[in-house]
Structure 1
Amino acid sequence: MEEQKKARLCIEILQNCRNELYHDFPYLDGAFASVGYRCVEKPVGISTDGDYFRTECGYLIDLYRENPARVTRGYLHMLLHCLYLHIFPEKDVKPHLWNLACDIAVELVIEGEGVRELALPEDLTRNRFIYRFGGKKCSAQQIYQMLEKQDFHESVEQMQKWFAFDLHDDWYTNGSGEHRAKTKRKWEKILAYTGQNRQDQKKKRGSRKGEKEEYLTPMARSRYDYKKFLKQFTVPREEVELDLESFDYIFYHFGMEEYGDMPLIEPLEYKEVNRMEELVIAIDTSGSCSSEIVQQFLAETYSILSNRENFSHKMKVYIIQCDCCIQDVVVIHSEEEWKAYSRNIRIQGRGGTDFRPVFTYVQEQRQKKELKNLKALIYFTDGDGIYPRSAPDYKTAFVFLERTQKMDLVPSWAVKLLV
């Protein structure tokens, strides 16, 4: 491929990434408009100095061919470096620690946005590292101090592997002092504009009548209730029990009348029933959910599961308490165990809210074959937390006691329910 064609293709790739990101981050329009694109022969990789995204063409084309979402995420990664002024380090910082601190900081921001299209392949160790921050967006300066104090067990090399995307050499060597100062003032203005722009975007979404009605309508429909949702995932099975409903009394009565004590048909000894065999119930125990509300949810759940039609003798119910990390896990196998748990339940947590640890834990249980036929996960919450980037392969419902604007935060792949 000719060099000019390669350069054009690289620019088209970056423009395409920008356009995709604009759909989810319209308030970054000022930042999107403030960087240009340049192709370079070396070094191999991609970088930014606040004026341009510079890339070696072969590197970008190969990376985009292999994983387009990785490049789109990387575009946002670099843009956030500019926006948060990471590209203007203090003179006395240790470059390798500052680079890593900035990479971790912007990746925490991207994770917190929960955009499905930007999701990375699951990495449990990386996820556990992120969970330690409890959903908080720490600044690069704060993370730099943690790195200096060696607060993390992981090696610098391991963390670089998880969070690095671009080269940072331009931050330390590129351009004259006057030009760098001008670029820094530009990004300071863009940062102030972006903050205001994001607030304006939120206000517009909340004030437009058409959008508000569109929001309320599915919420009203979602009140088809808990019971119907759970019944979708019951499994038909035969149990030893007289099936009097399918029993034909006409033939029974005819045999008894005509031949004495000789019924022509007897009730079936096996009855086909629908049972819920495996279920995960997660409870948001962050400070925003009171114990009274949690108790109300558990009472409603028990009223459904205690119904003889739903509760299976072989049922396995995981009840997980989680705020920003797993606080408690109890596995219920019988109606008696459920009653005992309900009587003695103690709410644990009261920290920030991150829904992702529950999904990670469930995946681990499935890999261990502890959960073999999971159909659904129920997550009781007030809706204010960090959601998983991608949908699991089982049905998920986020359950609310009352209608709230926070329902709008629930990902499109999950069901929103009102108890």
Structure 2
Amino acid sequence: MEENSEEYKKGEENRKAKLGVEILKNCRNELYSYFPYLDGAFASVSYESCRHIRGIGTEGNIFYFEPEYLLHSYGHSPAAIRRGYLHMMLHCLYLHLFPKEEYSKHIWDLACDMAVEQVIERENLPGLCLPAQPVRTRCLKKLGDRNLSAERISQMLMQGIFSDSLEEIQSAFCFDDHNLWDRRKEPERIARTKSKWEKILAYTGQKKHDKKQRAGEQEGDGREETAEVHRSRYDYRRFLKKFAVPREEVELDTESFDYIMYHYGMEHYGDMPLIEPLEYKEVNRLEELVIALDTSGSCSRETVQQFLAETYSILSERENFFKKMKVHLVQCDCSIRESIVIHSEEEWKAYSKNIKIQGRGGTDFRPVFAYVAEQKEKKEIRNLKALIYFTDGDGIYPKCRPDYETAFVFLKGGNGMDRVPCWAMKLVVSH
């Protein structure tokens, strides 16, 4: 009887560990949709359950997690775990795992947490948002608009410029267990891990618009050279395919799975969970799409046609694409000149072939966003996932990020790309 009890206990631990791994994989996949250029970083860590860790943490190679903590936390707030995953990944990229000798462990750990959280906070992504906390808000305001390095924040903490106590700040900013960072007994392993992340950082920097990036510090001003994560140059084809067509995929639906009910059943009824994860997960790739065309004097009819042709070639690769969605095509220079809705392949081809550019004035991007808000209020747009704005980049941009993905698309690079706000993607269509 005792032997059966031990087997059951071991089996239950294995189940929880596997579920924990699935949760982290799911978080990784969701984060990749926001930050595709971090693919090298995402591929450089594995996952492993550990009973001797406080919640979750990493030493640069493995994300260790305590199963009970992870399952309970994810069941309570998936966004907190997604954000925490990115939190740990940024620790690795900024080389926070290799502490500076001149700072105490407590100060350094807290400064590193504040450094990565200020970066995540500025992204303002819906899938990573947490409820407002007064201490966090006050501290972020004190840090200002720049992404400060952990070194600079350490100095600020030691100078006592924050009105809240170190304990209160730690409670507001900490996520992972930093004890795994202290591995002085294994200098060779530390050196290998540091070298790995330096190479990943270099690779990531190349993918981010070929700009050299250094994480953690810069001598002189102490800035974190990690530009806002959406300011990179993305591949247009990959972006558009991400929003291809709603379908069901064979995978565990960890978003809709209630871990609390699962464990209640396992604990009280043996091998009889009250709920199982769904084997099929519906992935809404795209139900509606808004394509805005900059019809100012700088965009010719031929250029617009070339953009529409490339867009159609990507969308038409998906079977029954036009039966699954509708495309809002909007022409705008400094105001809305034309707006139509495309429902079929024939309508798209006819419009593209016979398009008449209307406008030729100055460029103001804001009317298109106002148009979308108006259509959503009228229920003409119900589930918008992405707005694509084809332009040369010269114009007046909205100040606030909308609640859907926005990409400004260029037929070729140019000075206009540098004007795209940090909350939007900038893409280059092949030609």
Is contact 2:37–2:208 with CA below 8 Å preserved after alignment? yes
Is contact 1:112–1:135 with CA below 8 Å preserved after alignment? no
What corresponds to 2:203 in structure 1?
193
What corresponds to 1:163 in structure 2?
173
Write the distance in 1 (CA, Å) between the matches of 2:235 and 2:293.
Answer: 13
| Residue-by-residue CA offset, 1:122-157 (whole Å, 9 max, x unaligned) | 234422321233321001011011111112121111
| Residue-by-residue CA offset, 1:174-219 (whole Å, 9 max, x unaligned) | 76110111100000111111111121583445899x99x9453577
Is contact 1:116–1:389 with CA below 8 Å preserved after alignment? no
What corresponds to 1:48 in structure 2?
58
| 1:113 shift after superposition | 1.8
Determine which of 155, 176, 179 is the counterpart of 2:189.
179
| Residue-by-residue CA offset, 1:239-278 (whole Å, 9 max, x unaligned) | xxxxxxxxxxxxxxxxxxxxxxxxxxxxxxxxxxxxxxxx
| 1:384 shift after superposition | 8.4
Write the distance in 2 (CA, Å) between the matches of 1:159 and 1:408.
Answer: 30
What corresponds to 1:36 in structure 2?
46
- SS of the residue 1:130 aligns to: helix
Write the distance in 2 (CA, Å) between the matches of 1:216 and 1:128.
Answer: 41
| Residue-by-residue CA offset, 1:383-409 (whole Å, 9 max, x unaligned) | 487x57979xxxxxxxxxxxx765665
Cα separation, partners in 2 of 1:195 and 1:17, compared to 1, 3 Å? same
Cα separation, partners in 2 of 1:408 and 1:97, compared to 1, 3 Å? closer
Write the distance in 1 (CA, Å) between the matches of 2:202 and 2:36.
Answer: 15
- SS of the residue 1:157 aligns to: helix
State the AA in 2 paired with 1:202. S
For 1:5-404, list aligned pairs within 5 A. 5-173=15-183, 176-199=186-209, 202-204=232-234, 214-216=291-293, 220-221=331-332, 223-224=334-335, 383=397, 387=400
What corresponds to 2:260 in structure 1?
none
Is contact 2:136–2:172 with CA below 8 Å preserved after alignment? yes
- SS of the residue 1:169 aligns to: helix
- SS of the residue 2:98 aligns to: coil
| 1:90 shift after superposition | 2.3
- SS of the residue 2:17 aligns to: helix
State the AA in 1 paired with 2:141. Y
| 1:15 shift after superposition | 0.3
| 1:116 shift after superposition | 1.6
Write the distance in 2 (CA, Å) between the matches of 1:131 and 1:407.
Answer: 24
Is contact 1:17–1:71 with CA below 8 Å preserved after alignment? yes
Query: What is the CA RMSD across the aligned residues, in angstroms?
Result: 3.5
- SS of the residue 2:14 aligns to: helix
| Residue-by-residue CA offset, 1:302-332 (whole Å, 9 max, x unaligned) | xxxxxxxxxxxxxxxxxxxxxxxxxxxxxxx
- SS of the residue 1:38 aligns to: strand
Unaligned runs of 5+ in 2: 1-10, 211-230, 242-289, 295-328, 337-394, 405-415, 426-431
Is contact 1:383–1:409 with CA below 8 Å preserved after alignment? no
Q: TM-score, normalised by structure 2?
A: 0.51
State the AA in 2 paired with 1:176. E
Between 191-200 and 106-115, report the one with greater CA deviation: 191-200
| 1:81 shift after superposition | 0.3
- SS of the residue 1:112 aligns to: helix
Write the distance in 1 (CA, Å) between the matches of 2:402 and 2:178.
Answer: 27
Is contact 2:133–2:172 with CA below 8 Å preserved after alignment? no
Of all paired residues, the percent bearing the same amino acid is 43
- Number of residue pairs matched by the alignment: 245
State the AA in 2 paired with 1:109. V
- SS of the residue 2:182 aligns to: helix
Unaligned runs of 5+ in 1: 226-380, 392-403, 413-419
Is contact 2:135–2:164 with CA below 8 Å preserved after alignment? no
State the AA in 1 paired with 2:293. L
Write the distance in 1 (CA, Å) between the matches of 2:152 and 2:402.
Answer: 25
Is contact 1:40–1:54 with CA below 8 Å preserved after alignment? yes
Write the distance in 1 (CA, Å) between the matches of 2:233 and 2:104.
Answer: 41
Write the distance in 2 (CA, Å) between the matches of 1:204 and 1:60.
Answer: 32
